A and B are shown apart, each in its own frame.
Chain A
Amino acid sequence: MDFDTTFEEQYPPLVRYCHRLSGDRDTAEDIAQEAMVRLFERDVEGSTAGIRAWLFKTATHLIRDRYRVEENRKRLMSENPVMPTEPDSPEQALERMHDKATARRALDALPARDREMLLLRYSGFSYREIAEAVDVATTSVGTLLARAERRFSDVLLAAGEAA
């Protein structure tokens, strides 16, 4: 497996997926790089599509693990808060009207698994690959995707009507 070719092909879509899933650019780059390192350290072999699926599944698990740690940290911090939460500024309120913030909000409104499935689908994966990545039955993918799309669209629609 050629490093440069694989990196050029796989890294850009992977980091985009991680960014959409995590909502944070630094986290996205860190996770995408970690997945690439594991790919080469473990000498994963397969077709281009298979490698891509492996990378996205690995990244999905890494992001899940990171959020699990983050949730635990938040729980521990909440017992001894050190900083008050700042109220939204007018600028922040305006920013929420922006398309980007709306899309982010729509994603965040989804349960974690629905979010992963939606983003995998819009990264070009088949139903079978999505089922493998998030551990659901292939026959459930259509139903879950339809629900995720509906929820995502509802948030977008509500934001559009409010604007």
Chain B
Amino acid sequence: MSDFRGGLPGDADAHFSGHLSERAIVELRDGALLDADSGIHLDGCEVCRNALEEAKGRADTIGAALAELEEPFDVGTAREAVQARLAGGRSTTGPGRDEKRSTSFGTLGRAATFLLVTTGALSALPGSPVRDWIGGPPPQLSAPSEMVRTMAVEPVGMRMTVEDGPVFVRLDQVPSGTVIEVRWLAEPSLGVRAAPGSSFTSAEGRVQATIAGGPVSVELPGSIDEASLTVNGRVYLRGAPGGLDVTGPVDTRDTETIRFIVR
């Protein structure tokens, strides 16, 4: 367990040692705890600052470990399979699916049939434990629109006025599939917005953000030619007086906006 337990109001872990709890440290790191007291404490407490840095390092380590689990998959084939099902077919496997997959589903299908029959029979028995989970409340999927309404969240972000260039925007830990929309504004304003949990630091003409989720909105001052956007260490666009060099994964583009999808 962590040594960092302390006196945050309402913290169930509080041991009144005078330091932020591990929970508070994690919440601060994730941008979920924004109270002034914690910030003031952090400014004056090297132990807690070190704990925060340690938590950030741990997040990097965990993120890297989880990335090890990634395997390639075929989005096109999956799209066809879903389209086929939506069109009325119940085929789960699409064209080009490998043999292992087909075999796997055949086996799973038979197993599922067996289990449906078996659990159905078991559930008919008084006192059967199977009754508990069959008879229990269904997953909360029956009112998806309402759920979406309750889960829709406002983005967070920052904005600054920039009279002179250059302008740099750096986005880190952006999940794959995240949409980034870059827009040029008429006013001398630089802004970045993303999902709650994202954190931002800034200096004159610079914004650095750790992105918790999308969509991400980047607004650049149209009056400044020299600007760059870097995502996960890769340059997506670089503007110079001579023109704009776009090197990121463009999804759509028009005269005012460029929409990227992070790969």
By a beta-carbon cutoff of 8 Å, the part of chain A in contact with chain B is 3-4, 7-13, 15-16, 19-20, 25-26, 28-30, 32-33, 36-54, 57-58, 61-62, 64-65, 68-69, 72-73, 76, 99-100, 102-104, 106-107, 118-119, 121-129, 132, 139, 141-143, 145-146, 149-150, 152-153, 156
**Contact assessment for B177 and A12 in the assembled complex, using a CB-CB cutoff below 8 Å:** yes
A-B contact pairs, 11 of them (CB 8 A): A4-B79, A12-B75, A19-B71, A36-B78, A47-B152, A100-B69, A102-B65, A103-B65, A125-B197, A126-B153, A127-B197
Chain B neighbourhood of A25, CB < 8 A: 71, 73
A149 to B73 Cα, complex, angstroms:
27
Q: A45 contacts which chain B residues (CB < 8 A)? A: 145, 148
Knowing A49-B215, A72-B115, A153-B62 are in contact, say whether A44-B261 is a contact too (CB < 8 A): no
Give A152's nearest chain B residue, CB to CB. B62
Given contact pairs A26-B101, A44-B148, A32 touches B130 in the complex (Cβ within 8 A): no
B111-137 residues at the A interface, CB under 8 angstroms: 111-112, 115, 118-119, 130, 133
Interchain CB contact under 8 A, A125 and B69: no
Counting from the closest, the 8 A-B pairs by CB-CB distance are A124-B213, A46-B148, A61-B139, A50-B152, A126-B196, A50-B148, A53-B151, A142-B27
**B202 contacts partner chain A, Cβ-Cβ < 8 Å:** no
Contact of A57 (CB < 8 Å), options: B1, B147, B196: B147
Number of chain B interface residues as a range: 35 or more
A42 and B144 form a contact (CB under 8 A): yes
Residues on the B chain within 8 Å of A49, using CB: 151-153, 155, 195, 213-215
Chain A contacts for B61, CB-based, 8 A: 153, 156
The interface bits of chain B over 45-82 (1 if a CB of A lies within 8 angstroms of the residue's CB, else 0) are 00000000001001101110110111101010011011
Please give the distance in Å from B63's CB to the nearest CB on chain A. 6
What's the nearest-Cβ distance from chain A to residue B252, in Å?
9
How many CB-defined contacts (below 8 Å) exist between A and B? 213
User: In the complex, A34→B179 CA distance in Å?
Assistant: 23
**Contact status A65-B148, CB under 8 Å:** no
B211 to chain A, nearest CB (A): 7
Chain B CB within 10 Å, residue with most, of A29, A32, A106, A119:
A29
Tell me which of B10, B22, B145, B195 contacts A124 (CB under 8 A). B195
**Contact, CB under 8 Å: A15 / B78:** yes
A10 touching B177 by the CB < 8 A rule?
A: yes
Chain B residues whose C-beta falls within 8 Å of the C-beta of A47 in the assembled complex = 148, 152
Across the interface, which residues of B come within 8 angstroms of A7, CB to CB?
A: 75, 78-79, 82
A37 and B26 contacting across the interface, CB-CB below 8 Å: no
Chain A residue at smallest Cβ distance from B114: A73
CA gap between A130 and B195 in the complex, in Å: 13
Does B208 reach chain A (CB closer than 8 Å)?
no
A51 → chain B closest CB, angstroms: 6
Check if A54 sits within 8 Å of B144, measured CB to CB.
Answer: yes
User: In the complex, A26→B77 CA distance in Å?
Assistant: 13
A48 touches B179 (CB 8 A): yes
Q: Which of B10, B25, B32, B151 contacts A50 (CB 8 A)?
A: B151
Complex Cα distance, B128 from A86, in Å, reads 33
The smallest C-beta distance from A114 to any residue of chain B, in angstroms, reads 12
Closest to B111 in A: A73
Report the separation of the CA atoms of residues A37 and B261 in the bound assembly, to the nearest whole angstrom.
22
